[in-house]
Amino acid sequence: MSVRFVIDPLDFVRKTEVHHGRIPLAEFSRLQDFLHENHGEIGYQVSGFIDQDDKPRLRMKITGEIQLCCQRCLGGLMHRIDIDTSLLLAKTERELILADEDNSVDAILATAEINVFDLIEEEIILSLSISVRHSEGKCDVHQSEYCDPTEIANPKNPFAVLDALKKKPH
């Protein structure tokens, strides 16, 4: 297990620090529900800066490839992660509420300690589609040994079995 990276966000910004590294996918506990396989790593870079409005921000760059689970066939689906986002650091709850009213701004409360690992996992999850699926016709469900395409095109009458039982001699 990699070392959790915890920062004091306002101090991190004041010092304009930069931190980067790689995290194995197997270490993201909440992300596991979305994954078909948890092999590989995610690369990240977190930097602190003051924006043009003199507001503290964290910039997060997250990259990598993950194997998601298709919601249609439950097979693997390769997905490229390429996140470049900036988070406004609200110093008070009031600032956070005001920032949340502006839909163009992503803000978090600048608590004394922020776990960067948790921020990275949250950003990855937020970047995913609600229902991850292969594109139409590419899904394994259409080529399954359990699914006969002719049955989909010409469905059997569900009562045909009951009709055959009625006609069977006792």
Give the pLDDT confidence of 18-72 residue by residue, as tens digits: 999 999 999 999 999 899 998 999 999 999 999 999 999 999 999 999 999 888 8
Round the average pLDDT of the chain to a whole number and report it.
84
| pTM (2 d.p.) | 0.76
- Rounded CA gap, 160 and 166, in Å? 10
pLDDT mean over 161-168: 69
Confirm if 123 and 62 have CB atoms less than 8 A apart. yes
Give the model's pLDDT for residue 144.
47
Cα–Cα distances in Å, from 57 out to 20, 106, 150? 16, 10, 57
Percentage of residues of the chain with pLDDT beyond 90: 54
In this model, does residue 143 exceed pLDDT 90? no
Give the model's pLDDT for residue 140.
63
The b/e string for 109-139 (b: 16+ C-beta within 10 A; e otherwise) is ebeeebebbebbbebbeeeeeeeebbeeeeb
